[in-house]
Amino acid sequence: MNSSAVRRLFSSELEVRFENALPGHPDADGMRRAVSGVEKLSRTQQDLVLHWLDAAAQSSFELALFMTQMAPAALERLDAEGFEIWVLNGLDMKDREDVPTAKAFLRDLDDFLLRYRYNESVASFDDIIHQTSIFLQAISGEALDIRVDERDRAWTDTKALYLPYELAALPDAASNRKLYKAMATLLWAQTRYGTFYADPTAEGEAVTQNALLRYGKDERALRLLAALEAVRLEAKLAKDLPGLVAEIAELRGPWPAALLPALPSLSRPDATLADTLEVLDAFLRTDVDIAAMVHAATIDPEQTMKNIRAEKRTDGRPSLGAAEEDFDPFPSEYDDGEAVGEGKEAEETPPGDMPSSATLGRNPVRRNDDVVVQAKHGPQLFPEPDFKYHEWDFQRGAYREDWCHLYEVPVLPGDPNYVNQVKHKYRAYIWQIRRQLEMIKGEDKMLSRQVDGEEMDIDAVIESVIDHRNGGEPSDRLFRRRVRNERSLAVMFMVDMSGSTKGWVNNAERESLILLCEALELLNDNYAIYGFSGWGHKRCEIYPVKRFDEQYDDHVRAKIAGIEGKDFTRMGVAVRHLSKLLEEQGARHKLLVTISDGYPDDFGDEYRNDYGIEDTRRALQEAHERGIRSFCVTIDRQGADYLPRLYGPARYEVVPNAYRLPMRMAEIYRHLTT
Amino acid sequence: MTKQSHITPQLMRIDDEPFYQPVDNEIEMFEAAAKAGLPVLLKGPTGCGKTRFVEHMAWKLGRPLVTVSCHDDLTTADLIGRYLIIGDETVWVDGPLAAAVRAGAICYLDEIVEARKDTTVVIHPLADARRVLNIDKHGEQVEAPPEFMLVISYNPGYQSVLKEIKPSTRQRFIAFDFDYPSAAVEAKIVAAEGGISEELAQKLVKLGHMTRNLKGAGLDEGASTRLLVHAAQLIATGVAPQAACTAAVARSLSDDPDMTASLQDLVNAVF
């Protein structure tokens, strides 16, 4: 039914709604003023205001009432969406500051409109990252690392795509979002179609150095280079993605007249960077220039080459999801391959017997460089470990007995307000996922052929009559009974607390856990949360966040807030320990969910690469044999081609971007357990 | 035992050749399994051609085909049969499995993991050297003729941990791995089935491949060959390619607004 067909609410009806929303609120006069304002609105608007009255009343009666008083003025100038943003901003303001500040904010409609209009036209990285990362993964076949550029430029170092935080180059937000997509796709195309490799047969670095670095910081040359490459790449993309190229063409408008002579040669399907450079050099001999083309992004050869070289120095090892804060597990002085784990001294110590310091044993606070310094001074004493586990050595084809020493280390409580902030941020989503889970929970099961029950089981009755006629003994199980669906499920969440998670990944993990807990409380599923990290096989650590017998209370919430990135990722021992804890649960179905941000890695070279992958795989296999099903969630923006091998017996999902993790986790959980 | 009426359903044979594009040696292997009287397990993602393959083989071998889509309420009686009262008489009615065994047909149990565990067990004696079906209700043991063949399928992709095929079941079957065909073959299939040009079919397949890149990254599975054929069939009726892909691919793969929007971007990018 069309809402305009419904009549407006009269003041008497509104008064009832206000009193229900704000029971016992003393400001009768203010309430009357609000009602008389709201009475004049259309029914759709009235419903909108009443909806937000209820929502705001949860937070503050005073603010809710004030909002309804301001609502008629606000709705004169804002549509429904703008109104919601206005109210939500007011509520946020109250949470962050206080009620008077929030009221001042709501009162200043002019200021809000100014910023809202700007926000209407601007697109931000946060708006587009989900969609763009999915889009690029689909066309490229791999999860790409897409980041915000600190200097608000769009460029690529061939490992990651960097985009500005905001785009307002075009008049409306929708176009700016398309512009983001165009930019990101062209940046990917730069890496795909050899912008950084002039001659595919030549040795990459040498040629590129000569080819691109000679333009140095010549801004005109780089501007022209970016535009000419955009011409060439557009033609490359046109073969498979003609629709996208049409969209890009519309965004950029016609090419600048100065570029027209270059179009025929660069639009050939077999054009390479060499063709671009030929045209560019010809242009540079004249005084041709163009304005920078926004969609073409920027090409900064010096910066890119620096990163490519840095990549080579680390021996081709892909940089693991090191989050936005640069986390370097090795202090810089060892970058040149002289780190203890890589240098000569380390070779003299038997593999895996990484000497370490007693002070590291149980102390959660330590500095990386202390360790390296002390590591040079022979082995020291460790306290007796809480547990010892074997580890699979794939080269020997045998277990190393009691190899990993596991310590249970308490998690220090974090910011007590953190959980509430996250709940507030995701409130709409929590509500949605709870509703979905409610449906699972509400799914009752019909048991047929019961001795007693609510209704006759017709099939059973017919059978019993037949048995009787045939001279058999009729069954007395003739009823159907409805029972609560017993899930009998125990779930262990194993959370990566290695150093590489510091920053966004850690935050995404914590947010995911909060969303999961909020949802799981509803289902009564038995679950536990443990973090894991460590430093060498002599000091593997496990951090209980929530044990199976613990309630999800303020204490647990504070511990979730306290989850932080620590050291390395020795995964096998954590899987073994946690699957043992899980096995002790009585539930019929046992599920181990791991959340990590890359492949297993530990101090020194030993656990890295195949050894760690094989050990983790083995541990998951052992768990599988004991009836534990595993699901591994990886936040990895690299190619992640090792995952099928690593997770062999388990199922897994790659979440290409930490942003997506919280929402995705709840969905994965729902999918896995229904 | 008193003489009782007995109804067994008539089974249909497939007269016209169902289109099937072989990918590997699966046709010869299936014929060999049929000759040796071995049951067959088909593994593969949804919509990659498992059911069509079985139809094609039933046609090729000239045997009737009985297909049962398994679900979690499927009881043993639903497969084997049950007594019904007709007038004043009790009548035994064969279920699809019993009918298939008697007729020497191919019985295809689709998505076997969805069936209850106690139901799956009734196929065990049929799937080993005994090749018999026990009908406990009236103590009958039906011996399967050489033509009878049991085929089951399941999708090992994304599924709940609560559902898995038991080793005691799966170890009775010889297994075929199915996957989406190579791009060239798939384009041929989409063109032939959908009635569109091969050039257009290649674009659809391109789109299909892009969505399959998202498997495990937000999508449980990418667009199946079947979905691409659906899109092609819509296009063949005169629907614009973009609109056809929106309906047949983008909206059908996901409910997540972000994901649907990205899929729509892909559709727009390809056409």
Stronger pLDDT, A449 or B232, i.e. the higher one:
B232
Stronger pLDDT, A635 or B131, i.e. the higher one:
B131
What local confidence, expressed as pLDDT, does residue A372 receive? 33
Q: What is the distance of C-alpha A380 from the center of its chain?
A: 40
What local confidence, expressed as pLDDT, does residue B152 receive? 94
Residues of B in contact with A242 (CB under 8 A): 270-271
Mean pLDDT of B181-199: 93
On whether the CB atoms of residues A463 and A475 are closer than 8 A, the answer is yes
Query: At residue B222, does pLDDT exceed 60?
Result: yes
b/e per residue, A324-344, with b = 16+ CB within 10 A? eeebebbeeebeeeebbbbee
Stronger pLDDT, B204 or A599, i.e. the higher one:
B204
What local confidence, expressed as pLDDT, does residue A637 receive? 57
B217 and A656 within 8 Å at the Cβ level: the answer is yes
Closest Cα of chain A to B40: distance in Å?
23
What local confidence, expressed as pLDDT, does residue B162 receive? 63
A307 touches chain B (CB under 8 A): no
A673 and B83 within 8 Å at the Cβ level: the answer is no
Residue of A nearest to B137 (CA): A467
Selecting from A466, A589, A654 the residue whose C-beta is nearest the C-beta of B85 gives: A466
Q: How many angstroms separate the CA atoms of A415 and A557, rounded?
A: 9
What local confidence, expressed as pLDDT, does residue A483 receive? 72
Closest Cα of chain A to B235: distance in Å?
17
Residues pairing with A491 in the sheet:
A527, A591
Size of interface A-B (CB pairs under 8 A): 95
A243 and B270 within 8 Å at the Cβ level: the answer is yes
Selecting from B158, B213, B265 the residue whose C-beta is nearest the C-beta of A131 gives: B265
What local confidence, expressed as pLDDT, does residue B101 receive? 95
On whether the CB atoms of residues B207 and B267 are closer than 8 A, the answer is yes
Residues with Cβ within 8 Å of residue A16, at least 6 apart in sequence: none
ipTM: 0.76
Helix axis angle, B50-61 to B26-36, nearest 10°: 60
Give the number of C-alpha atoms closer than 13 A to the C-alpha of residue A87, restricted to the C-beta side.
30
A463 and B160 within 8 Å at the Cβ level: the answer is no
Q: How many angstroms separate the CA atoms of A612 and A619, rounded?
A: 10
Residues pairing with B93 in the sheet:
B7, B82
What local confidence, expressed as pLDDT, does residue B150 receive? 95
What local confidence, expressed as pLDDT, does residue B155 receive? 84
Best mutation site among B74, B262, B263, B271 for testing chain A: the one with the most A CBs within 10 Å? Answer: B262
- Give mean pLDDT in consecutive 10-residue pieces for chain A, a chain of 674 residues: 67 89 86 91 90 86 91 88 87 85 89 77 83 88 83 85 88 89 92 72 52 80 91 90 92 89 88 88 88 84 72 42 34 36 37 33 32 35 78 83 88 85 80 72 72 82 84 84 74 87 81 85 85 86 91 89 86 91 85 83 74 87 86 72 72 76 79 75
What local confidence, expressed as pLDDT, does residue A412 receive? 87
What local confidence, expressed as pLDDT, does residue A212 receive? 77
Residues of B in contact with A665 (CB under 8 A): none
Helix axis angle, A242-252 to B257-270, nearest 10°: 90
Query: The pTM is what?
Result: 0.63
Mean pLDDT of B242-246: 94
Query: CB B160: neighbour CB atoms within 10 A?
Result: 15
Closest Cα of chain A to B39: distance in Å?
25
Helix axis angle, A80-96 to A61-77, nearest 10°: 150
Selecting from A132, A470, A652 the residue whose C-beta is nearest the C-beta of B90 gives: A470
DSSP character string of A245-300: HHHHHHHH-SPPGGGGGGHHHHTSTT--HHHHHHHHHHHHHTT---PPPGGG----
Give per-residue pLDDT as tens, B15-71: 999 999 998 899 999 999 999 999 999 998 888 999 999 999 999 999 999 999 988
